[in-house]
């Protein structure tokens, strides 16, 4: 096995920024002296400390963003798009340092960081730029002009599971719209965010346009949500965090968009090509060690084909290599943090207690690992949809095989959760697949494992959230609509 990159050399990429915030175009000392320890998920030892922000730090960042907003909102679209183009180029140029930091802060396999976390983050920037270039910011209907204008100062709260990817999914459309930003990355994986702040500075963002304050949700997130000078909050996180942000934001009547939990179904229709779609379904569910809100962790399968599907799923899971993130052979590194590791273990135990049949995996670390937040890729079969493991987000490599007898029952089971973020449908009959896809109440449905589309709107029904990200729909969330009646294009043109 290849040893992990030494923590000290990785942190050299950040210098003194671990203890500072990025506010008004520069790195500043926090108001207080509190620190947050980061734990390496491979060694379980503290590997770094970051500054812990406070409401006073948020006030400074918001004031900087508020001062910068009028000028940045008036910046020509071409200049904002040029800034995004520079950010995209720098992400790709600095892909290897980003990969090292992502591996350090959350244990993601370095190969997966290079193949997915970083290039997909850059794609969010490209998609936002191209969406803005084609966006109808001004439309004329008779003598009424309909203008789409930047909403103002945006508070962006991002999660620990896809740190850079989720930052660019929010920062890029906000910049494209002409908004200014205060970012609070997760305190559990803040290193890539600090490196991204350096990148934004190097890309030439004007002072105050992008600001970053590290800290906890109760201290920094709550202060942002309640802040009277923040016009919008966008949060990706747990349902609990999303609800708390919405409650805190209510008194100032700001816009709140939420991308929250999921328990996505993967409906295998009776005519599906099982040898293709079962392995793809397992690897999709276990992507990023299962730490994805849209992971298809409920595989709904024809009861008559259950035994064949179990064998294919077991074979796929057992071929996945769990190991040190720096090893090129590793598919799945450790779970990102102790709390999530404990959650996964608890839910596997719960599945056994509820009577689900273990196909592979189970509790504890894989053989050969005595430390690190490593988990065994786990598949349960004969799962009933009312079981906790079928209803609650586990956020680890745990897949539930849920048998059904009719397509109508499969659709009912697919919709029988409080979530509605993503879904998958597999069939050789495209008409049938599309019919089923229309009946599933989820914000994004994938038929036969298509390629990822960075322009496809992403967001949830029900308790999976409000609002959409990606492409033109994601850009719209950062815009206000103004109608101007009695508008004359001739007057604009000076005639």
- Nearest Cα residue to 171 out of 228, 136, 225, 212: 212
d(CA 266, CA 408): 14
Q: According to DSSP H, which parts of 354-406 are helical?
A: 388-391
Q: CB of 477 within 8 A of CB of 467?
A: yes
Q: What is the DSSP letter of 52?
A: P
In the block, tokens 């910068």 appear at 68
Annotated active-site residue 310? The verdict is no
Q: d(Cα 80, Cα 73) in Å, to the nearest integer? A: 9
Identify the helix (H) or strand (E) that includes residue 21.
strand 21-23
Q: How far apart are CA 404 and CA 98, in angstroms?
A: 43
Contact 378, 360 (CB under 8 A): yes
How far is C-alpha 41 from the chain's CA centre? Answer: 19
Q: Of these residues, 259, 393, 469, 477, which one is catalytic?
A: 259
Does 259 participate in catalysis according to the annotation? yes
Phi-psi region of 144 (alpha: psi -120 to 50; beta: other; left: phi over 0): beta
**Considering only CA atoms, which of 199, 145, 148 is closest in space to residue 172?**
199
Q: What is the DSSP string of 172-189?
A: HHHHHHT-EEEEE--TTS
E strand segments, 441-491:
444-447, 461-462, 465-466, 479-485
Q: How many Cβ atoms sit within 10 Å of the Cβ of residue 241?
A: 18
Tell me the backbone φ, ψ of residue 87, rounded to 5 degrees: -65, -45
The one catalytic residue among 18, 293, 360, 400? 293
Q: Which of 98, 120, 221 is nearest to 166 (CA)?
A: 120
363/322 Cα distance (integer angstroms): 14
Tally of residues, the chain = 495
- What span, in angstroms and rounded, lies between the C-alpha atoms of 218 and 245? 10
Q: How far apart are CA 428 and CA 430, in angstroms?
A: 6
> In angstroms, rounded to a whole number, what is the distance separating the alpha carbons of residues 400 and 290?
12
**Residues annotated catalytic, as ranges:** 259, 293
């Amino acid at each position: 096995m290849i040893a992990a990159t030494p923590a000290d050399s990785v942190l050299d990429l950040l210098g003194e920024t671990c203890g500072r915030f990025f506010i008004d175009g520069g790195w500043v000392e926090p108001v207080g002296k509190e620190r947050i320890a980061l734990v390496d998920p491979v060694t379980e030892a503290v590997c770094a400390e970051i500054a812990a922000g406070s409401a006073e730090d948020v006030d400074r960042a918001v004031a900087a963003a508020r001062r910068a907003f009028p000028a940045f909102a008036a910046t020509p679209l071409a200049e904002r798009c040029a800034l995004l183009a520079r950010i995209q180029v720098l992400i790709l140029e600095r892909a290897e340092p980003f990969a090292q930091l992502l591996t350090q802060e959350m244990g993601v396999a370095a190969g997966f960081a290079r193949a997915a976390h970083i290039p997909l983050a850059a794609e969010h920037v490209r998609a936002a730029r191209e969406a803005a270039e084609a966006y109808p910011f001004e439309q004329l209907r008779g003598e009424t002009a309909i203008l789409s204008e930047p909403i103002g100062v945006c508070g962006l709260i991002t999660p620990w599971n896809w740190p850079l990817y989720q930052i660019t999914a929010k920062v890029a459309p906000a910049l494209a719209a002409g908004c200014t930003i205060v970012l609070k990355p997760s305190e559990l994986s803040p290193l890539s965010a600090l490196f991204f702040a350096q990148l934004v500075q190097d890309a030439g963002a004007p002072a105050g346009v992008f600001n970053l304050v590290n800290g906890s949700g109760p201290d920094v997130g709550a202060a942002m949500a309640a802040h009277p000078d923040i016009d919008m909050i966008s949060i990706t996180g747990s349902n609990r965090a999303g609800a708390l942000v919405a409650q805190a934001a209510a008194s100032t009547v700001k816009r709140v968009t939420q991308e929250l939990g999921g328990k996505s179904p993967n409906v295998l229709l009776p005519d599906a090509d099982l040898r293709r779609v079962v392995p793809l379904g397992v690897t999709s569910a276990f992507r990023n060690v299962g730490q994805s809100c849209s992971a298809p962790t409920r595989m709904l399968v024809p009861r008559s084909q259950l035994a064949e599907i179990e064998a294919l799923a077991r074979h796929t899971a057992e071929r996945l290599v769990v190991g040190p993130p720096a090893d090129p052979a590793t598919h799945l590194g450790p779970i990102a943090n102790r709390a999530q590791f404990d959650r996964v273990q608890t839910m596997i135990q719960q599945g056994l207690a509820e009577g689900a049949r273990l196909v592979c995996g189970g509790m504890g670390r894989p053989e050969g690992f005595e430390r690190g937040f490593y988990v065994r890729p786990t598949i349960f079969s004969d799962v009933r949809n009312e079981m906790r493991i079928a209803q609650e987000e586990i956020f680890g490599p745990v897949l539930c095989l849920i048998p059904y007898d009719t397509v109508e029952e499969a659709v009912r089971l697919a919709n029988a959760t409080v979530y509605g973020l993503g879904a998958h449908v597999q069939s050789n009959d495209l008409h049938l697949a599309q019919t089923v896809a229309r009946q599933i109440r989820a914000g994004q449905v994938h038929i036969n494992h298509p390629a990822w589309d960075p322009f496809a709107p992403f967001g949830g029904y029900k308790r999976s959230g409000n609002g959409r990200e990606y492409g033109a729909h994601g850009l719209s969330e950062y815009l206000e609509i103004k109608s101007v009646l009695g508008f004359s294009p001739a007057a604009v043109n000076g005639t």
